[in-house]
Structure 1
Amino acid sequence: MESNKEQWPEELDALLAAPKHHKLLFENEKVRVIDACIPSGETTELHTHKWPASLYVISWSDFVRYDSDGNIVLDSKNLAKSPSTSSAFWSGPLPPHTLCNTGLQDLHIISVEIKT
Structure 2
Amino acid sequence: MLDSLDAVAAAPEHHIVLFEDDRVRVLDTVIRPGEETAVHTHVWSGVLYVISWSPCVRCDEHGTVMMDSVRDGVSPVPGTAIPAAPIPPHTLKNVGTQDIHVILTEFKTA
TM-score normalised by L of structure 2: 0.95
Q: Percent identity?
A: 50
Where does residue 30 of structure 1 map in the other structure? 23
Q: Which runs of 4+ in 1 moved over 2 A?
A: 78-81
- Return 5+ residue gaps in structure 1 as ranges: 1-8
Which residue, 30, 35, 45 being the options, matches 1:52?
Answer: 45
Letter in 2 for 1:65: R
What are the Cα deviations for residues 48-101 of structure 1, in whole angstroms up to 9, with x where unaligned? Answer: 001001000000000000001100000000233511110110111000000000
Q: Determine whether 1:15 maps to 2:15.
A: no
- Number of equivalences: 108
Q: Describe the SS at the equivalent of 1:12.
A: coil
Which residue, 39, 45, 48 being the options, matches 2:32?
Answer: 39
The root-mean-square deviation of aligned C-alpha atoms, in Å, is: 1.1
Q: Describe the SS at the equivalent of 1:44.
A: coil
Deviation at 1:26, TM superposition (A): 0.1
Letter in 1 for 2:8: L
Letter in 2 for 1:60: W
Letter in 2 for 1:21: H
Where does residue 70 of structure 2 map in the other structure? 77
Q: Determine whether 1:110 maps to 2:103.
A: yes
How many angstroms apart in 2 are the aligned matches of 1:14 and 1:48?
A: 6
How many angstroms apart in 1 are the aligned matches of 2:75 and 2:95?
A: 14
Q: Describe the SS at the equivalent of 2:67.
A: strand
How many angstroms apart in 2 are the aligned matches of 1:81 and 1:16?
A: 27
